[in-house]
Homo-oligomer: A and B are copies of this chain.
Amino acid sequence: MPPSRRDLLNTKKGFIVHKAVMEVVTVKDILAARELIQRFIKLTPVLTCSEANRIAKRNIYFKAEHLQTTGAFKIRGATNAVMKIKSKYGLDHPGVVTHSSGNHGQALACAANVAGLPCTIVVPKGSPSCKVEAIKGYGAKLVECFPSPTARVETMEKVCKETGQVFVSPYDHADVIAGQGTIGLELVEQIPDLDAVLVAISGGGLASGIAMAVKSVRPECKVYAVTPKGKMLEDCLRAGERLWPNPPQFLDTIADAIKLQQTGFNTFTLLKELAEKNVFEMSDEEMIEGMRFSFHRMKQVIEAAAGAAVAAALSDKMASLPAEIKNVAVILCGGNADIDNFPWYDSFKKAY
């Protein structure tokens, strides 16, 4: 059950705060994040496509976070975290660290570079050199580690101890969630009468931030998570419990940006309250079709995680949702696809 209006608490500014989750992040944090980061990030446009509307049988609005600085939404949360540190401690602070060779690693390096704070990125050995070069380009220090979830955390903790740098989690950090939530504020301003949001989920920072923001303005708006196969999110949301096996696993998916099986702890608290239990699970083939639709029809380069959300919007499941869900936002979360290795060329490679 989505939270009813009885669970909601009005604030003086007309926003609505969800009681159960306000200890993690509130809409006030998201409003403050917008204030802090808006000079550094882009207000991304919302794109439309008549063919998508026809297939989904409703109005689909694609939020173009693939056109965001660094090519993904991650810069929002990273900038919020870094700028909060800077405004509190100034430039004497030892800086920030994270473990990620992906979009969050680049985003944190970029945000720290803009802020003028030191930054270390723990990168698994064997990461693609283009990604490593991009991080270096932002002046961050790179530390290599063995490519396993455990080694990443251990190396990061060692860096924290030695340097005093603060860990900025890719998702389970209040400032990161609040930063990503600024997308939700933009959605309700850019899209008239928003009824639903489709958002791909990994650790859950993006989905929970957006849900918090959107539902504070329009509590009746539904937020649907989109995941790779094997995520078990629907079971967990329905049970209201973390049913995932431990230690944490990576899913077998082409979408490396959403390969975590487990969400974060804070984000799960938010999602239990705010997200629909009805989850869109997409196969690799469907994600590829979503990417191809975006390339072919919308002329937009998106990565597989964004392709998952597009595929969800074009799925039979979407078309069969009640007609009163008229206006649907689809988050194009990132555009950092490897242009030398689009996934639909795999079968092609095999043929040669």
Contacts and interface: CB of A to CB of B under 8 A. Distances in A.
Interface residues of A, number: 22
A71 interface: yes
A339 B293 CA distance: 10
A338 B349 CA distance: 17
A302 interface: yes
Interface of A: 45, 66-67, 71, 292, 295-296, 298-302, 335, 339-340, 342, 344-345, 348-349, 351-352
Nearest to A351: B352
A300 B301 CA distance: 6
A339 B349 CA distance: 15
Closest 8 interchain pairs by CB? A352-B352, A299-B335, A299-B301, A295-B339, A66-B299, A295-B301, A296-B339, A349-B352
A83 to B, nearest CB: 20
A299 B302 contact: yes
A214 to B, nearest CB: 24
Nearest to A345: B345
Nearest to A352: B352
Nearest to A300: B299
8 contacts: A67-B299, A71-B299, A296-B301, A296-B339, A299-B300, A300-B300, A340-B344, A342-B342
